[in-house]
Amino acid sequence: MNKKIIMSQERLLHGGDYNPEQWLDSPDILKRDLELFLKAGINTVTMGMFSWALLEPEEGRYQIDWLTEIVDQLYQKGIYTILGTPSGARPQWLAKRYPEVLRVDEKRQRNLFGGRQNHCYTSPVYRQKVRKINVILAKELGSHPGVLLIHLSNEYGGDCHCPLCQEKFRGWLKERYDTIEELNRRWSTTFWGHTYQSFEQIESPSSKGELLLHALNLDWKRFVTAQTVDFAAQEKKAIRDGGCQKPVTTNFMGDYDGLNYRKFKGVIDVASWDSYPEWHRKPVPQTAAETAFQHDFMRSLLKKPFLLMESSPSSTNWQEVSKLRKPGILHAASLQAVAHGSDSVLYFQLRQSRGASEKFHGAVIDHYGGEDTRVFQEVCQVGETLGRLSELAGTVQKPKVALIWDTENRWALFDSQGPRNAGIPYKETAEKMYAGMRRLGLDMDIIDMEDDLENYRIVLIPMLYLFRGGIGDKIREFVKNGGTAVMTFWSGVADDTDRCFLGGVPGKLTDVFGLRRTEIDGLYEGEENAALPVKDNFLSLERRYTCRNLCELVNVSDARVLMTYEKDFYKDLPVVTCNQYGKGKAYYICADMEQQFYNDFLEAVQKNDKIEKPLPDIPDGVEVTTRESEEATYVLIQNFNADSVNLKLPDHGCEVIYGETEGSLKGLSSVIIKI
């Protein structure tokens, strides 16, 4: 990758959201901010996302000077700007004069002015007003040497059910299905006799109307994504038309499932996201694993370095409890983002606002305003570390293992009224597989069904209920050519409009996995079964593992059985199987297994496939990732336990470029080696 894609200098970005518009009447505060930024090693600020009312105080009267002045001042001190477009929150005058820009909810009620990220993404007026301000910003600031990157809007999300959006939706469906007969067929509308006679009859899903036609719900979500992506593309076009050629990003929200983020691939040049884990609700190593999953998901969108666009330097103020981060967590969490491919650590927010809804959100500079605060000191430490790690900027990860985590699958799975309405363990299963693999220090991509599989050795496929994007053929080819696929229960059930496959499932893959699902049992809360190893199974699985929630029953044709159920009327039926297909292996996991199973099983698979680990022994709670450049390989090792762990580094030619280890690694500390 061209290292200069993200930055004009080869360094890691440190800084975050900055709202000087809230302090224009206090020049002393702005001056003080600058001093403090320099002390904390802050080299980047994100500005402008919520400045529309100041940038265009009346329709057509633009005032950009104040912003240009601040960009200049920062740049003179070596601080770069990520320039936000202001579409996330509109001015009062705009909403009053053009009510069509206000979103309509699923009950068909129009919003009043207020809040943010609640515009109609179809409204021509809104699009035009956003275009104008974006063109002007691009003209005024788009070529400024201090501007690194354009940040489209802020956390796109939500849907609008206004007449303009309904009309657009119908057009989108017409494009997709061509005739109403085809739509009826694909949506299974003969069920309850809900057949449409024309596209004009179609309405978006609503609790006052149609909510149980799964294919309608699915296509509505696809449309909302398409329309939001189109809105973002128009924003980008305005930036380009204004003469700005800087790379473009928009900040995502990790596993927010209102949008299929993959579809933004063609619009953004850099992926970025806002990470707000609750570090102290669960054990820290577990939160670390869950957060790592999100980082990998975001990095895998473009498969190159991403940006941690927002994170809190201490607590948030919107989660149930505003928990402080214990000392050391900020540093570890920040370095973890870098370890997973981020070229930045950016915060929300640099200076705490004085009033309104985020006045108690954590910030680098709080209301007290001094540098002698715990948080400011910890931010300084992060700045110091990032300053020492410039050579990591632009380095990439090359995972041999991928996990398929697909947003459209998630939509369909949870809507399906299937084997367990009381809870479908999709995320849990994905996270258990991920954690089991990551314990071995193997990097992972989190991909979706539209991605290619051929660059991986192992592909993990949790609960892939819906098949689309030719995934069945891709899995077949992947295994045939020597890959290892591990697929779980409740996969390959339905096609891309949620119609069940006929003639045996997993759909079109029964020969690849050497089995056919016959039934699936939902278990009550607290109910358990267990998997017992088959004697002398080739993976040497020896333990008993509990399973919960879902237990699938299969008929094996060719697959070898490695584990069987302990009890119930399906006692002795297979739980874990493996089929040799072509040059590869297709494993199938029939039940929702406990974490320990995935730990042991995936380690056995890794050994069986002879995939090399970056370190021979990785203690529990220690994360290992690898970033590479053409010249060097960096192994980042982070201990997320509170206590020290024993750690043996490779004896041959490696240089410790960060951290200390004399055979052990202290709690919450990290070491980076260069090979």
Catalog residues that contact ligand GAL under the rule CB under 6 A: 154-155, 274, 276, 310, 316, 318, 348, 358, 361
Q: Return the number of the residue (358 or 594) whose C-beta is nearest ligand GAL.
A: 358
d(CA 596, CA 613): 19
636 binds, among Zn ion, ligand GAL, none (CB under 5 to 8 A by kind): none
Rg (CA), the chain: 26
3-state secondary structure at position 670: strand
Q: Return the number of the residue (114 or 650) whose C-beta is nearest ligand GAL.
A: 114
Tokens found for residue 519? 């039934």
Q: Return the number of the residue (166 or 395) whose C-beta is nearest Zn ion.
A: 166
Q: Return the number of the residue (23 or 276) whose C-beta is nearest ligand GAL.
A: 276
316 binds, among Zn ion, ligand GAL, none (CB under 5 to 8 A by kind): ligand GAL
d(CA 439, CA 622): 8
| CB 238 to Zn ion: min, Å | 20
Q: How many CA atoms lie within 13 A of 604 on its CB side?
A: 17
- Phi, psi dihedral angles at 110 (to 5 degrees): -85, 140
Whether the bond between 319 and the residue before it is cis, its omega within 30 degrees of 0, is no
| CB 261 to Zn ion: min, Å | 21
- Phi, psi dihedral angles at 267 (to 5 degrees): -100, -45
Give the residue carrying structure tokens 């309104």.
356
Q: Return the number of the residue (278 or 358) whose C-beta is nearest ligand GAL.
A: 358
d(CA 436, CA 429): 11
| CB 263 to Zn ion: min, Å | 19
214 binds, among ligand GAL, Zn ion, none (CB under 5 to 8 A by kind): none
Residue with nearest beta carbon to ligand GAL: 348
Residues with catalytic roles: 155, 310
| CB 353 to ligand GAL: min, Å | 10
120 binds, among ligand GAL, Zn ion, none (CB under 5 to 8 A by kind): Zn ion
d(CA 523, CA 427): 18
The answer to whether residues 494 and 188 touch, using CB atoms and an 8 Å cutoff, is: no
| CB 119 to ligand GAL: min, Å | 15
Q: Which of 209, 211, 184 is nearest to 199 (CA)?
A: 184
Whether the bond between 506 and the residue before it is cis, its omega within 30 degrees of 0, is yes
Q: What secondary structure letter does DSSP report for 655?
A: E
CB count within 10 Å of CB 242 equals: 20
| Site for Zn ion contains 330 (CB under 5 A) | no
H/E run at residue 459: strand 458-461
155 binds, among Zn ion, ligand GAL, none (CB under 5 to 8 A by kind): ligand GAL
Q: Return the number of the residue (228 or 488) whose C-beta is nearest Zn ion.
A: 228
Q: Return the number of the residue (228 or 300) whose C-beta is nearest Zn ion.
A: 228
| CB 271 to ligand GAL: min, Å | 15
Q: What secondary structure letter does DSSP report for 11?
A: S
Give the residue carrying structure tokens 């849907």.
159
Q: Return the number of the residue (361 or 585) whose C-beta is nearest ligand GAL.
A: 361
| CB 349 to ligand GAL: min, Å | 7
270 binds, among ligand GAL, Zn ion, none (CB under 5 to 8 A by kind): none
DSSP characters for 191-238? GGG---SSGGG-----TTS----HHHHHHHHHHHHHHHHHHHHHHHHH
| Site for Zn ion contains 120 (CB under 5 A) | yes
| CB 595 to Zn ion: min, Å | 44
| Integer angstrom CA distances of residue 57 from 92, 130, 135, 235 | 9, 14, 17, 20
| Integer angstrom CA distances of residue 675 from 395, 442, 610 | 14, 16, 21
In our burial notation (b when 16+ CB lie closer than 10 A, e otherwise), range 582-613 reads: eebbbbbbbbbbbbebbbbbbbbbbeebebee
Q: Return the number of the residue (14 or 476) whose C-beta is nearest ligand GAL.
A: 14
Q: Return the number of the residue (50 or 75) whose C-beta is nearest ligand GAL.
A: 50
162 binds, among ligand GAL, Zn ion, none (CB under 5 to 8 A by kind): Zn ion
3-state secondary structure at position 8: coil
| CB 168 to ligand GAL: min, Å | 26
3-state secondary structure at position 581: strand
Q: Cα torsion for 131, 136, 139, 142, to the nearest 10°?
A: -70
191 binds, among ligand GAL, Zn ion, none (CB under 5 to 8 A by kind): none
289 binds, among ligand GAL, Zn ion, none (CB under 5 to 8 A by kind): none
x/- track of binding to Zn ion for residues 142-181 (CB under 5 A): ------------------x-x-xx----------------
440 binds, among ligand GAL, Zn ion, none (CB under 5 to 8 A by kind): none
Sign of CA dihedral 491, 497, 498, 499: negative
Give the residue carrying structure tokens 């996995």.
513
3-state secondary structure at position 293: helix
| CB 86 to Zn ion: min, Å | 19
| Site for Zn ion contains 122 (CB under 5 A) | yes
Tokens found for residue 315? 């607590």
| Site for Zn ion contains 226 (CB under 5 A) | no
Interface residues toward Zn ion, by CB under 5 A: 120, 122, 160, 162, 164-165
